[in-house]
Amino acid sequence: MARQRLQNYIDNLKNEGIMDGEYEETRRSQNSNFPNLMMNVIDNFLNDGDNCMRELADLLSARSVNYTKVTTAAHLIKGGGSSLGGCRVVAAARALITASLNRDKQSCETSYERVVNEYYHFRDKLRTLHQMERAVFNQESRRRG
């Protein structure tokens, strides 16, 4: 039951264009040796992502932008988002990386706003996914005994 609800939610996120198939691809790595893999991946992304978002805000509000650090933080968001199938947050981070590599502060600010919107929207969806993954984990743990 919990597994079907999880799959339906993932399907809805894919239909809305928020996620692609990478979440399920990463989830296939989950097995009896790593039964809570997805919860850990989500936790790590959310912790790292929140830190990167704070760092990006600080970097882009500085008088002199450190584009190398902007690029690094955006790469971390892109990489984490990619492993969880967050195609929209990945696209937004990719645009920020391009703007940063071009050392274009105006484009960085515009791209950053898109990253903010996509990241926080995706974060909310991931929190729901985390709860659903926990329900599946708990249900399967009870079944195993």
pLDDT in tens, 41-67: 999 999 999 999 999 999 999 999 999
**Is 49:123 a contact under the CB 8 Å cutoff?**
yes
Q: Is the pLDDT of residue 32 over 80?
A: no
The more confidently predicted of residues 137 and 55 is: 55
Could you tell me the two tokens for 38?
A: 């997805």
Residue 80 vs residue 34, higher pLDDT: 80
Confidence band, pLDDT 50/70/90 cuts, at residue 1: confident
Number of other CB atoms surrounding residue 93 within 10 Å: 30
Mean of pLDDT over the chain: 95
Look up tokens 């696209």; give the residue: 91
Query: How confident is the model at residue 97, as a pLDDT?
Result: 99
- Domain edges within the chain: 2-144
Q: Are 73 and 56 in contact (CB under 8 A)?
A: yes
Give the CATH superfamily of 2-144. Answer: HPT domain (1.20.120.160)
Structure confidence by residue, pLDDT tens digits, 114-125: 999 999 999 999
For residue 38, pLDDT over 90 is answered with yes
Q: What is the pLDDT of residue 141?
A: 83
Residue type present at position 71? T
pLDDT at 17: 96
Mean pLDDT, to the nearest integer, of 89-115? Answer: 98
pLDDT beyond 70 at 145: no
- Does 35 score more than 80 pLDDT? yes
